[in-house]
Amino acid sequence: MPATLLVVDDEPQILQVVSGILQDEGFEVVTAPDGEAALKLVAEEPPDLVLLDIALPGKDGLEVLQELKSRYATLPVVMISAYGSVENAVKATRLGAYDFIEKPPNADNILLTVRNALEMARLAEENRRLRLQATPVREIVGKSEALQRLREQVRMVAPTNASVLITGENGTGKELVARALHAFSQRSHKPFVEVNCAAIPEDLIESELFGHEKGAFTGATSRRQGKFDLAHEGTLFLDEIGDMSLKTQAKILRILEEQRFERVGGSRPIQVDVRVVAATNKNLAEEIQRGTFREDLYHRINVIPLQVPPLRERREDIPLLAGHFLQELARENDAPPKTISPRALEALVNLPWPGNVRELKNFIWRLAILTPGPQIDLPDLHLTTPPESESGDLDHLLQMPDFREARARFEKEYLRRQLEECQGSVSLLAERIGLERSHLYRKLKAYGLEPGKEGEG
């Protein structure tokens, strides 16, 4: 695909001459008569390079250059001026211009400068990708049989282009699995684009996914690329796909079948090559029965199903995870990592962890921050766990012979205290501990902890 170049000059004759030189060499050329028009064009569809005149009406070229480099740091810009001076050249270079060409433009000089600038940008992008590839993939930590099986499945599935549906409770690490699928795929040097379908308002989800044309709706002041555009040749991760509306599901299905889409307010089909990885904490088979999820889309995205096990089903991984999170926190703060005593680890292994790995990570980080000494011991767990409750302290829970009863008592007291801190807001509590709101509400109801009861109103 030929490179797209934007030529900005207020002299029509210069635009015609420069455009002709570049088009004869096979480049796609877009023109703008002033800085404001140039900035709008770049915002709508970023070019591969800008040739920018210094003397422009309104904002001069140096102002436009400064704005371009602040928004698009890697975009190469070549300045053109009839008033070639050392001062202008130095100023433009300091602001980030690649080079400086004097008018009248010489064909050989223009082409040589453009090719060198494009090659420099290509090498910079290649170096960026190589650095990303050299960055270690966030590890899926654990040695349990369930984790080993999941890692092996990821290794087998990643090199293919098959759509993957990742299921599992909130906080189990579905995003981590999606990133691993991308990192070990043939698309690893291309973008990984994430969309949280549950976090985007319904009236904006289509614009977010497919982009929009200028004037498509109130507030659409310019063309905007969507996530499918941005993920071209890479991986698009649709997190919480079970929360997507039926209308949007139909459009996603069409894209997956045809590999093309139209922007909101547009009619021109855009071809796209995207691998879709989806995730949900819902049972989509049940959602299909309820009529809230399309069966044809389910079969399209569920080519390869991957199930991420909850933490309670791989308790042997808790010590490894705890150590990993302590090391992670130490690296971030450039400090020696703290350790956890065997009896504290035993207590951690036997706690219920309804929020799964996410809850464990937050808990370990709080412990590491609040524990004054280099080792976290059993009494330190009370720094983040209520020291007294209707079921007694943590030592008492560990001594109870019936695991299910101990877990239920701890879970009830944990939810009661957390709900108090959230001032009775179930939505805030669900976000805080990483549980789906409907699932959390059922738990609260089962324990008699609905807002308005036991003092949580």
Q: Rounded mean pLDDT of 286-290?
A: 95
Measured between alpha carbons, how far is 197 from 240 in angstroms, rounded to an integer? Answer: 6
Looking up tokens 């400068």 gives 113
Instruction: Please tell me the predicted confidence (pLDDT) of residue 382.
Output: 75
* Statement: residue 134 has pLDDT above 70: no
Q: What is the DSSP string of 280-293?
A: ESS-HHHHHHHTSS
What are 392-411's pLDDT values in tens digits? 445 555 555 566 666 777 77
Measured between alpha carbons, how far is 145 from 214 in angstroms, rounded to an integer? Answer: 52
Instruction: Please tell me the predicted confidence (pLDDT) of residue 249.
Output: 93
Mean pLDDT of the chain: 85
Measured between alpha carbons, how far is 118 from 77 in angstroms, rounded to an integer? Answer: 10
Max Cα distance, the chain (Å): 90
Q: What is the DSSP string of 143-203?
A: -SHHHHHHHHHHHHHTTS---EEEE--TTS-HHHHHHHHHHTSTTTTS-EEEEETTTS-TT
Confidence category of residue 74, pLDDT binned at 50, 70, 90: confident
In 3D space, the residue among 308, 192, 201 whose CA is nearest the CA of residue 244 turns out to be 201
Q: Rounded mean pLDDT of 76-82?
A: 89
CATH superfamily of domain region 147-309:
P-loop containing nucleotide triphosphate hydrolases (3.40.50.300)
pLDDT top residue among 216 and 451: 216
Instruction: Please tell me the predicted confidence (pLDDT) of residue 438.
Output: 77
Count CA within 13 A, CB hemisphere, residue 127: 7
In 3-state terms the chain splits into helix, strand, coil percentages (rounded to 5) of 50, 15, 35
Q: At what angle do helices 426-433 and 437-446 cross, to 10 degrees?
A: 110
Instruction: Please tell me the predicted confidence (pLDDT) of residue 424.
Output: 81
Measured between alpha carbons, how far is 323 from 365 in angstroms, rounded to an integer? Answer: 11
Q: What is the DSSP string of 365-434?
A: HHHHHH--SSEE-GGGGGGTS-S--TT--HHHHHH-S-HHHHHHHHHHHHHHHHHHHTTT-HHHHHHHHT
Common-topology check for domains 4-133 and 147-309:
yes
pLDDT top residue among 376 and 389: 376
Measured between alpha carbons, how far is 414 from 171 in angstroms, rounded to an integer? Answer: 17
Looking up tokens 């036997």 gives 350
Which of the listed CATH numbers 3.40.50.2300, 2.120.10.30, 1.10.357.10, 1.20.120.1630 matches domain 4-133? 3.40.50.2300
Q: Rounded mean pLDDT of 249-254?
A: 92
* Statement: residue 457 has pLDDT above 70: no
The C-alpha angle 6, 12, 17, rounded to 5 degrees, equals 70
Q: Rounded mean pLDDT of 303-321?
A: 95
Instruction: Please tell me the predicted confidence (pLDDT) of residue 402.
Output: 60
Q: Rounded mean pLDDT of 40-54?
A: 89
Domain boundaries, the chain: 4-133, 147-309, 312-446
What are 382-396's pLDDT values in tens digits? 766 533 333 344 555
Lowest mean pLDDT among 64-73, 266-275, 331-340, 442-451: 442-451
Q: Which two tokens stand for residue 115?
A: 């090719």
* CATH fold for domain 312-446: Helicase, Ruva Protein; domain 3 (1.10.8)
Instruction: Please tell me the predicted confidence (pLDDT) of residue 397.
Output: 56
* Statement: residue 365 has pLDDT above 60: yes
Q: What is the pTM of this model?
A: 0.60
Q: Which two tokens stand for residue 129?
A: 């990708």
